[in-house]
Structure 1
Amino acid sequence: MYTHILLHTLLKLAHFLHNVYIAIRYACIVGYRKCTGLLCARTELDLLLRMRAKTKKIPRHLVIVLGLCDESVLDCVRIIGWCIALNIPYISFFDRNGFLKKNEANLKEEFAKKRPDLIEHIIWNSHTKPPSQNGITGSKSKINVLLLSDTDNKGKIVTLVQSLTRAVSLGKLDPEDITDQLISEKLNMKGLPNPDLALIYGYTCSTHGLLPLHTRTTEFLTLPLYISISVEDFIYLLERYSKFVQRYGK
């Protein structure tokens, strides 16, 4: 009995210390913004352009891992707008339960309401390469926005195994032709480059089902969970990413 009480007390203490750590961490983020002058800018665009001007390394493909958070359509709208301003050509939103896929029409409608000036800059769920990366001032600048779920990851492996087995049994495919290259091509993330940066929007630091095949060189960072994400948080994480040095196993 005493052991149970002791363990319960230690668990509460650990939870309290974790909350203190989170509070201190976010206080440091606010202090960092003040020191770098981020809070002096008047608009989100000012903040983004200022960061872009002084940052040499911007992800080419950003993936937002939504974890268990479903009520995030408005945050997605804002993040897409920020990515357009920063010339990030590919952005994917991954939630394993397929919430955004089921609500794709709602997402497009909200984006049209909030950012009608940027509608022509988006290619929805396309495998094609954006034709230009000239920033939001370029009339032909495009960004690929993909909505992904578990069917594009683990579910895709199951489907691939079934199709290969069927092809072999029907004599349409020689087992010797099933190579690592073939499997990699079939499991390619809809023709997109692998993500450079993944921002986890959830309570747990987890890939939430993203395949290791797609995230071999991906940096993972965690978004703070507020009612809505702020552009300052987004910029802070991109600045952290820009300082990472990827050694690719060396």
Structure 2
Amino acid sequence: MDEIDSLEGATLVRVLSQLRTGFEYRPSAFPASVALCGLRDVRHYKVAAGGSPELSGGPSPFNVIVESLRLGDFTLDEIHDLYSQHTAETDRVFTDEAVEQVHRLTTGQPWLVNALAAEIVDRMKVPVTEPVSVEHVNAARERIIQARPSHLDSLVRRLQEPAVRRVLEPVLASTDEPADLTCSDDRSYARDLGLVAETPDGGLRIANPIYDEVIARALAEIVVRDRGRFQHRGTSSAPTAVSTCRTC
């Protein structure tokens, strides 16, 4: 079941409760195994469901999980192998420098790796006879950021969630996070969303340069929007309004 966590609240609880009920009837009258695919780890569905799985009226739908798997990022060699498959089929060549730039911009995030290639091939329509270069990759990066397709837009919406903000704010401000259980859960949640990655010293960073740029632009839009709303409320002194917003 792909994008299961696009459901929220009571709807998500009802779907999960049906899976929990069907669990008792395996394998004769219900699938023996069901894979739930989404941005969140299953343990975080409680948040999306409103934090109260007991609303289902029966056994908790969250206690029949066998295993949680996370699709890892591609390595540089894996990106090269992936693009080589396209080359074998179409004779389109990706230069080594272009592949390295894709890895640098995405750190191997699977959706981004495929999105950059699709942007170059399908939308920019770089001729097959022209090797794909670093310049093509950089142009595709900007086009994707500007277009903000559903994948990136979904991540941007996560910025409004308190758990995500508690993690991202100290990361963006380059300050230490508070060491408590809530923060630990928040870190795990933001990591499962793919927004952040761990640094060698145990800290956090934005997962890749493309996400970093998208988040920075999204936050800038919020500041501009809030500034405009503040000024629209009728302050008599424009400099005071600007100063106040910068403080915020």
With structure 2 as the length reference, what TM-score do the two structures score?
0.25
Select the structure that is richer in strand: 1
**Greater Rg, structure 1 or structure 2?**
2
More RCO (CA 8 Å, sep 6+): 1
TM-score by length of 1: 0.25
More helix by share: 2
